[in-house]
Structure 1
Amino acid sequence: MRGETVNVARLVGTVCGIGYLRPAPGTWGSLAALPLAWAMHELGGFPLLALVTLIVFAAGIWATREMTAGQENHDPSEIVVDEVAGQLIAVWAISFPAWTHGIEITQLWPGWIAGFVLFRLFDISKPGPVGWADRRSDAIGVMLDDVIAGIFAAIGVTLLAGVAHGVLGL
Protein backbone atom coordinates (compact mmCIF):
# COMPACT_ATOMS: atom_id res chain seq x y z
CA MET A 1 0.00 0.00 0.00
CA ARG A 2 2.87 2.42 0.79
CA GLY A 3 4.24 2.10 -2.75
CA GLU A 4 0.87 2.99 -4.26
CA THR A 5 0.60 6.03 -1.96
CA VAL A 6 4.05 7.23 -2.98
CA ASN A 7 3.18 6.77 -6.67
CA VAL A 8 0.01 8.85 -6.30
CA ALA A 9 1.98 11.45 -4.33
CA ARG A 10 4.59 11.53 -7.11
CA LEU A 11 1.86 12.10 -9.73
CA VAL A 12 0.44 14.97 -7.67
CA GLY A 13 3.78 16.46 -6.61
CA THR A 14 5.30 16.40 -10.09
CA VAL A 15 1.97 17.39 -11.69
CA CYS A 16 1.79 14.22 -13.79
CA GLY A 17 5.52 14.27 -14.53
CA ILE A 18 5.90 17.93 -15.54
CA GLY A 19 8.39 18.34 -12.68
CA TYR A 20 10.81 16.07 -14.52
CA LEU A 21 11.06 18.45 -17.49
CA ARG A 22 14.41 20.22 -17.77
CA PRO A 23 15.61 22.89 -17.64
CA ALA A 24 13.68 24.96 -15.09
CA PRO A 25 11.01 22.52 -13.82
CA GLY A 26 9.45 25.29 -11.69
CA THR A 27 8.83 27.36 -14.79
CA TRP A 28 7.24 24.36 -16.53
CA GLY A 29 5.02 23.86 -13.47
CA SER A 30 3.99 27.51 -13.55
CA LEU A 31 3.19 27.26 -17.25
CA ALA A 32 1.10 24.15 -16.63
CA ALA A 33 -1.03 26.12 -14.17
CA LEU A 34 -2.14 28.62 -16.80
CA PRO A 35 -4.43 26.36 -18.88
CA LEU A 36 -5.77 24.90 -15.64
CA ALA A 37 -6.58 28.42 -14.39
CA TRP A 38 -8.28 29.29 -17.67
CA ALA A 39 -10.35 26.09 -17.67
CA MET A 40 -11.46 26.52 -14.05
CA HIS A 41 -12.39 30.14 -14.66
CA GLU A 42 -14.36 29.21 -17.78
CA LEU A 43 -16.17 26.35 -16.00
CA GLY A 44 -17.04 28.13 -12.76
CA GLY A 45 -15.56 31.60 -12.63
CA PHE A 46 -13.45 32.87 -9.78
CA PRO A 47 -15.16 30.71 -7.11
CA LEU A 48 -14.17 27.48 -8.85
CA LEU A 49 -10.62 28.73 -9.46
CA ALA A 50 -10.30 29.65 -5.77
CA LEU A 51 -11.66 26.25 -4.68
CA VAL A 52 -9.31 24.36 -7.00
CA THR A 53 -6.39 26.45 -5.70
CA LEU A 54 -7.20 25.41 -2.12
CA ILE A 55 -7.44 21.76 -3.18
CA VAL A 56 -4.10 21.98 -5.02
CA PHE A 57 -2.53 23.56 -1.92
CA ALA A 58 -3.79 20.81 0.40
CA ALA A 59 -2.88 18.04 -2.05
CA GLY A 60 0.55 19.61 -2.47
CA ILE A 61 1.26 19.51 1.26
CA TRP A 62 0.30 15.84 1.35
CA ALA A 63 2.28 14.93 -1.78
CA THR A 64 5.37 16.83 -0.61
CA ARG A 65 5.28 15.08 2.78
CA GLU A 66 4.98 11.70 1.11
CA MET A 67 7.67 12.34 -1.49
CA THR A 68 10.22 13.71 0.98
CA ALA A 69 9.59 11.38 3.93
CA GLY A 70 12.96 10.24 5.30
CA GLN A 71 14.97 12.46 2.94
CA GLU A 72 17.25 15.38 3.73
CA ASN A 73 16.06 17.42 0.75
CA HIS A 74 12.68 18.86 1.72
CA ASP A 75 12.16 20.58 -1.66
CA PRO A 76 13.42 18.52 -4.60
CA SER A 77 13.17 20.31 -7.93
CA GLU A 78 10.75 17.78 -9.41
CA ILE A 79 8.04 18.86 -6.94
CA VAL A 80 6.19 21.56 -8.88
CA VAL A 81 2.69 21.37 -7.40
CA ASP A 82 3.77 24.34 -5.26
CA GLU A 83 4.37 26.40 -8.41
CA VAL A 84 0.94 25.42 -9.69
CA ALA A 85 -0.71 26.64 -6.47
CA GLY A 86 1.24 29.90 -6.47
CA GLN A 87 0.61 30.59 -10.15
CA LEU A 88 -3.11 29.95 -9.68
CA ILE A 89 -3.14 32.58 -6.93
CA ALA A 90 -1.36 35.05 -9.23
CA VAL A 91 -4.19 34.54 -11.76
CA TRP A 92 -6.77 35.45 -9.11
CA ALA A 93 -5.90 39.09 -9.87
CA ILE A 94 -7.45 38.76 -13.31
CA SER A 95 -10.02 36.05 -12.62
CA PHE A 96 -11.87 37.96 -9.92
CA PRO A 97 -12.36 41.20 -11.88
CA ALA A 98 -13.19 39.27 -15.07
CA TRP A 99 -15.78 37.24 -13.17
CA THR A 100 -17.34 40.20 -11.32
CA HIS A 101 -17.50 42.43 -14.40
CA GLY A 102 -18.42 39.82 -17.01
CA ILE A 103 -15.21 40.27 -18.97
CA GLU A 104 -13.78 37.44 -21.07
CA ILE A 105 -10.64 36.50 -19.15
CA THR A 106 -8.56 36.13 -22.31
CA GLN A 107 -9.09 39.85 -22.97
CA LEU A 108 -6.95 40.46 -19.91
CA TRP A 109 -3.91 38.92 -21.59
CA PRO A 110 -1.45 41.51 -20.22
CA GLY A 111 -2.43 40.33 -16.74
CA TRP A 112 -1.64 36.72 -17.67
CA ILE A 113 1.84 37.73 -18.79
CA ALA A 114 2.47 40.02 -15.82
CA GLY A 115 1.20 37.38 -13.38
CA PHE A 116 3.46 34.73 -14.83
CA VAL A 117 6.56 36.93 -14.92
CA LEU A 118 5.98 38.41 -11.46
CA PHE A 119 5.27 35.02 -9.92
CA ARG A 120 8.47 33.54 -11.34
CA LEU A 121 10.42 36.62 -10.21
CA PHE A 122 9.14 36.39 -6.63
CA ASP A 123 9.46 32.60 -6.54
CA ILE A 124 13.08 32.66 -7.71
CA SER A 125 14.30 35.73 -5.78
CA LYS A 126 12.42 34.82 -2.56
CA PRO A 127 12.08 38.29 -1.05
CA GLY A 128 11.14 38.70 2.63
CA PRO A 129 8.31 36.38 3.65
CA VAL A 130 8.79 34.17 0.58
CA GLY A 131 12.32 33.34 1.77
CA TRP A 132 11.12 32.92 5.35
CA ALA A 133 8.57 30.30 4.25
CA ASP A 134 11.16 28.55 2.08
CA ARG A 135 13.52 28.22 5.06
CA ARG A 136 10.91 26.31 7.08
CA SER A 137 12.31 23.06 5.64
CA ASP A 138 8.99 21.22 5.69
CA ALA A 139 6.09 20.46 3.35
CA ILE A 140 4.11 23.49 4.48
CA GLY A 141 7.12 25.72 3.79
CA VAL A 142 7.52 24.22 0.31
CA MET A 143 3.94 25.16 -0.50
CA LEU A 144 3.76 28.39 1.48
CA ASP A 145 6.68 30.15 -0.20
CA ASP A 146 4.91 29.80 -3.55
CA VAL A 147 1.57 30.87 -2.08
CA ILE A 148 3.21 34.05 -0.78
CA ALA A 149 4.98 34.59 -4.13
CA GLY A 150 1.57 34.15 -5.80
CA ILE A 151 0.02 36.74 -3.49
CA PHE A 152 2.87 39.17 -4.24
CA ALA A 153 2.38 38.56 -7.98
CA ALA A 154 -1.39 39.12 -7.69
CA ILE A 155 -0.76 42.40 -5.87
CA GLY A 156 1.73 43.36 -8.58
CA VAL A 157 -0.77 42.58 -11.34
CA THR A 158 -3.42 44.65 -9.56
CA LEU A 159 -1.04 47.59 -9.17
CA LEU A 160 0.04 47.38 -12.81
CA ALA A 161 -3.60 47.27 -13.92
CA GLY A 162 -4.30 50.31 -11.77
CA VAL A 163 -1.45 52.19 -13.40
CA ALA A 164 -2.42 51.08 -16.92
CA HIS A 165 -6.13 51.81 -16.56
CA GLY A 166 -6.01 54.67 -14.10
CA VAL A 167 -2.88 56.69 -14.65
CA LEU A 168 -2.32 55.78 -18.28
CA GLY A 169 -6.02 55.56 -19.12
CA LEU A 170 -5.64 52.47 -21.30
Structure 2
Amino acid sequence: MSRLIATVFGVGHIRPAPGTWGSAVGVLGALGLHYLGGFPLLLVATVAVFLIGWWATYRATLGSQDHDPSEIVIDEVAGQWIALLVVSYGAWNAGLDPLRLYPGWIAGFLLFRLFDITKPWLVGWADRRGDALGVMLDDVIAGIFAAIATGALAFLTHAVLRL
Protein backbone atom coordinates (compact mmCIF):
# COMPACT_ATOMS: atom_id res chain seq x y z
CA MET A 1 0.00 0.00 0.00
CA SER A 2 2.83 2.43 0.82
CA ARG A 3 4.33 2.00 -2.68
CA LEU A 4 0.95 2.67 -4.29
CA ILE A 5 0.52 5.83 -2.25
CA ALA A 6 4.12 6.98 -2.71
CA THR A 7 3.87 6.57 -6.50
CA VAL A 8 0.32 8.01 -6.56
CA PHE A 9 -1.06 4.72 -7.85
CA GLY A 10 1.66 4.30 -10.45
CA VAL A 11 1.82 7.85 -11.84
CA GLY A 12 5.44 8.02 -10.64
CA HIS A 13 6.35 5.32 -13.15
CA ILE A 14 5.37 7.48 -16.15
CA ARG A 15 8.42 8.61 -18.09
CA PRO A 16 9.86 11.08 -18.83
CA ALA A 17 9.65 13.55 -15.96
CA PRO A 18 7.67 11.62 -13.32
CA GLY A 19 7.69 14.65 -11.00
CA THR A 20 5.96 16.75 -13.62
CA TRP A 21 3.37 14.02 -14.15
CA GLY A 22 2.83 13.86 -10.39
CA SER A 23 2.37 17.63 -10.29
CA ALA A 24 -0.09 17.51 -13.21
CA VAL A 25 -2.14 14.88 -11.39
CA GLY A 26 -1.90 17.15 -8.35
CA VAL A 27 -3.44 20.05 -10.27
CA LEU A 28 -6.32 17.88 -11.42
CA GLY A 29 -6.79 16.55 -7.90
CA ALA A 30 -6.78 20.07 -6.44
CA LEU A 31 -9.42 21.19 -8.93
CA GLY A 32 -11.53 18.15 -8.12
CA LEU A 33 -11.26 18.75 -4.39
CA HIS A 34 -12.10 22.42 -4.86
CA TYR A 35 -15.25 21.48 -6.79
CA LEU A 36 -16.21 18.99 -4.08
CA GLY A 37 -15.65 21.17 -1.02
CA GLY A 38 -13.90 24.40 -1.92
CA PHE A 39 -10.80 25.77 -0.27
CA PRO A 40 -11.49 24.18 3.15
CA LEU A 41 -11.51 20.66 1.70
CA LEU A 42 -8.32 21.29 -0.29
CA LEU A 43 -6.60 22.62 2.83
CA VAL A 44 -7.55 19.60 4.95
CA ALA A 45 -6.65 17.21 2.13
CA THR A 46 -3.25 18.89 1.75
CA VAL A 47 -2.40 18.29 5.40
CA ALA A 48 -3.63 14.70 5.13
CA VAL A 49 -1.61 14.02 1.97
CA PHE A 50 1.51 15.44 3.59
CA LEU A 51 1.15 13.15 6.63
CA ILE A 52 0.19 10.06 4.62
CA GLY A 53 2.90 10.85 2.07
CA TRP A 54 5.54 11.13 4.78
CA TRP A 55 4.56 7.68 6.09
CA ALA A 56 4.38 6.16 2.59
CA THR A 57 7.74 7.65 1.58
CA TYR A 58 9.36 6.35 4.76
CA ARG A 59 7.98 2.87 4.15
CA ALA A 60 8.80 2.88 0.42
CA THR A 61 12.42 3.91 0.97
CA LEU A 62 13.10 1.78 4.05
CA GLY A 63 16.36 -0.10 3.50
CA SER A 64 17.06 1.61 0.17
CA GLN A 65 20.24 3.49 -0.71
CA ASP A 66 18.16 6.02 -2.68
CA HIS A 67 16.30 8.23 -0.21
CA ASP A 68 14.32 9.98 -2.99
CA PRO A 69 13.63 7.69 -5.95
CA SER A 70 12.07 9.48 -8.92
CA GLU A 71 8.96 7.28 -8.88
CA ILE A 72 7.91 8.70 -5.50
CA VAL A 73 5.64 11.58 -6.46
CA ILE A 74 3.28 11.93 -3.50
CA ASP A 75 5.56 14.76 -2.40
CA GLU A 76 4.83 16.57 -5.68
CA VAL A 77 1.11 16.26 -5.05
CA ALA A 78 1.44 17.74 -1.56
CA GLY A 79 3.67 20.58 -2.75
CA GLN A 80 1.49 21.29 -5.77
CA TRP A 81 -1.60 21.52 -3.59
CA ILE A 82 0.18 24.01 -1.34
CA ALA A 83 1.11 26.07 -4.39
CA LEU A 84 -2.53 26.12 -5.48
CA LEU A 85 -4.09 26.93 -2.12
CA VAL A 86 -3.85 30.66 -2.87
CA VAL A 87 -5.78 30.21 -6.13
CA SER A 88 -8.36 27.96 -4.51
CA TYR A 89 -8.84 30.47 -1.71
CA GLY A 90 -9.29 33.31 -4.20
CA ALA A 91 -11.96 31.41 -6.13
CA TRP A 92 -13.71 30.22 -2.97
CA ASN A 93 -13.64 33.64 -1.31
CA ALA A 94 -15.03 35.36 -4.43
CA GLY A 95 -17.57 32.61 -5.08
CA LEU A 96 -16.13 31.97 -8.55
CA ASP A 97 -15.82 28.84 -10.61
CA PRO A 98 -12.15 27.97 -10.02
CA LEU A 99 -11.51 27.64 -13.75
CA ARG A 100 -12.20 31.37 -14.11
CA LEU A 101 -8.85 31.77 -12.36
CA TYR A 102 -7.10 29.47 -14.84
CA PRO A 103 -4.01 31.73 -15.14
CA GLY A 104 -3.43 31.18 -11.41
CA TRP A 105 -3.66 27.40 -11.77
CA ILE A 106 -1.16 27.52 -14.63
CA ALA A 107 1.17 29.89 -12.74
CA GLY A 108 0.97 27.73 -9.60
CA PHE A 109 1.88 24.64 -11.61
CA LEU A 110 4.78 26.28 -13.46
CA LEU A 111 6.18 28.07 -10.43
CA PHE A 112 6.01 24.94 -8.31
CA ARG A 113 7.90 22.97 -10.96
CA LEU A 114 10.49 25.77 -11.19
CA PHE A 115 11.14 25.81 -7.44
CA ASP A 116 11.03 22.01 -7.17
CA ILE A 117 13.54 21.51 -9.98
CA THR A 118 15.97 24.34 -9.15
CA LYS A 119 15.78 23.77 -5.37
CA PRO A 120 16.71 27.27 -4.20
CA TRP A 121 17.68 28.03 -0.60
CA LEU A 122 15.43 26.17 1.87
CA VAL A 123 14.16 23.78 -0.82
CA GLY A 124 17.71 22.52 -1.34
CA TRP A 125 18.32 22.38 2.41
CA ALA A 126 15.30 20.12 2.89
CA ASP A 127 16.28 17.95 -0.08
CA ARG A 128 19.74 17.39 1.42
CA ARG A 129 18.29 15.96 4.67
CA GLY A 130 18.40 12.53 3.07
CA ASP A 131 15.31 11.14 4.78
CA ALA A 132 11.58 10.73 4.15
CA LEU A 133 10.75 13.99 5.88
CA GLY A 134 13.24 15.79 3.63
CA VAL A 135 11.62 14.23 0.56
CA MET A 136 8.29 15.72 1.62
CA LEU A 137 9.64 19.01 3.00
CA ASP A 138 11.50 20.10 -0.12
CA ASP A 139 8.21 19.99 -2.03
CA VAL A 140 6.30 21.65 0.80
CA ILE A 141 8.78 24.53 0.79
CA ALA A 142 8.74 24.70 -3.02
CA GLY A 143 4.94 24.81 -2.77
CA ILE A 144 5.08 27.66 -0.26
CA PHE A 145 7.46 29.61 -2.51
CA ALA A 146 5.19 28.97 -5.50
CA ALA A 147 2.08 30.02 -3.53
CA ILE A 148 3.77 33.28 -2.52
CA ALA A 149 4.87 33.97 -6.09
CA THR A 150 1.44 33.05 -7.50
CA GLY A 151 -0.25 35.34 -4.97
CA ALA A 152 2.18 38.14 -5.82
CA LEU A 153 1.41 37.74 -9.52
CA ALA A 154 -2.33 37.81 -8.79
CA PHE A 155 -1.90 40.98 -6.71
CA LEU A 156 0.16 42.60 -9.46
CA THR A 157 -2.37 41.62 -12.11
CA HIS A 158 -5.54 42.57 -10.26
CA ALA A 159 -4.61 45.26 -7.73
CA VAL A 160 -1.81 47.08 -9.52
CA LEU A 161 -2.52 46.63 -13.22
CA ARG A 162 -6.30 46.28 -12.70
CA LEU A 163 -6.65 43.52 -15.30
After TM superposition, the structure 1 = structure 2 runs for residues 91-170 of structure 1, keeping only pairs within 5 Å, are 91-170=84-163
Paired amino acid for 2:130: S
Aligned length: 163
Residue 4 of structure 1 corresponds to none
Larger Rg computed on CA atoms: 1
**Structure 2: runs of 5 or more not aligned:** none
Give the whole-Å Cα distance in 2 for the aligned partners of 1:42 and 1:83: 21
Cα separation, 1, equivalents of 2:145 and 2:73? 19
State percent identity of aligned pairs.
Answer: 61
Q: Offset at 1:93? A: 1.0
Q: TM-score, normalised by structure 1?
A: 0.94
Computed over aligned residues only, the root mean square deviation of the Cα atoms, in angstroms, reads: 0.6
Aligned equivalents of 1:109, 1:99: Cα separation in 2: 14
Q: Measure how far apart 1:167 and its partner are.
A: 1.9
1:37 to 2:37 alignment? no
Scaled by the length of structure 2, the TM-score of the pair is 0.98
Aligned to 1:81: 74
| Structure 1 residues 101-120: Cα deviation after superposition (integer angstroms, max 9, x where no partner) | 21111000000110000000
Give ranges in structure 1 of 5+ residues lacking alignment: 1-7
Distance in 2, Cα, partners of 1:12 & 1:54: 15
User: In 2, distance between residues paired with 1:97 and 1:110?
Assistant: 12
Q: Distance in 2 between matches of 1:11 and 1:66?
A: 11
What's the CA shift for 1:155? 0.4
Runs of 4+ in 1 over 6 A off after TM superposition: none
Match of 2:43 in 1: 50
